[in-house]
Amino acid sequence: MGKSVIHYASERGHANHGWLNAHHSFSFASWQNPEKMNFGVLRVLNDDVVAAGMGFGTHPHDNMEIITIPLKGDLEHKDSMGNIGRIKENEIQMMSAGSGITHSEYNPNSDCEVNLLQIWLFPKVRNITPRYNQIQLIPADRKNKFHQVISPDGNPIGMNINQDAFFQMATIDAGQLLSYKIQLAGNGVYIFLISGALKINNNYNLHKRDAVGLWDIENVEISAMQQSEVLLMEVPMNL
């Protein structure tokens, strides 16, 4: 049967700073919930809306794998490795903070907000040389199928993570059924529904921004009750 935890969108932490409207799936900043500290090595899943012309000033990170996925709009990025550029919808950014970096992120647009997911994972190896990667995604690659966007070896799109983790994205039409098989024994999966409505293993009904974590399992069955965008993260359960 395996084990599970369900996180409803309405139960997430919420902080509205005016320039930043943030929802936290796991404890973050001033919102602390001892029952929602992490899911295995998955430490942070923030659903952020950044107002026009606003953003995060230069700040440090170390020993964290940081993934940014814009859902609407685009984000300007600058870091101490010399990377400067924009991350847009249908792109994904991966940073291994390793031994330490500083970076800033802001919404360069004067007329629209940006909505993004920022995800942090504890690394497999500490204090590696920091690295950065950014890849454009093709929507057709995830139409009614899982498309692997992050993996330890970077297959198939070159986005490699310093962890035994695999990220999949899919756009699923209503009535379609997808199966996912755990790639590394002992890993669990955290399924975050970006939009739509899904049924997981005929047990859990998810709606927009709901999530379910499953472990001690070998595979997952996902059926779409309406057109849905989903992010599936397979991660080690042991820190």
pLDDT of amino acid 100:
97
Grade residue 85 by pLDDT with cuts at 50, 70 and 90. confident
| Residue 102 confidence (pLDDT) above 80 | yes
| Residue 117 confidence (pLDDT) above 90 | yes
Mean pLDDT of 93-116: 95
Indicate the pTM of the whole model. Answer: 0.97
pLDDT of amino acid 11:
97
| Residue 145 confidence (pLDDT) above 80 | yes
Q: Which residues pair with 228 in a beta bridge?
A: 172
At 215, the amino acid letter reads W
pLDDT of amino acid 176:
98
Burial of 93 (0-12, 13-18, 19+ CB in 10 A): buried
* Cα 186 to Cα 1: distance, rounded to the nearest angstrom: 14
Give residue-wise pLDDT tens across range 4-33. 999 999 999 999 999 999 999 999 999 999
User: Which homologous superfamily does the CATH classification assign to the domain defined by 3-236?
Assistant: Jelly Rolls (2.60.120.10)
Mean pLDDT of 219-223: 97
Identify which of 14, 84, 8 has the alpha carbon closest to the alpha carbon of residue 49: 14
Mean pLDDT of 109-123: 96
* Cα 192 to Cα 195: distance, rounded to the nearest angstrom: 9
pLDDT of amino acid 220:
97
Whole-number average pLDDT of the chain: 96
* Cα 192 to Cα 225: distance, rounded to the nearest angstrom: 15
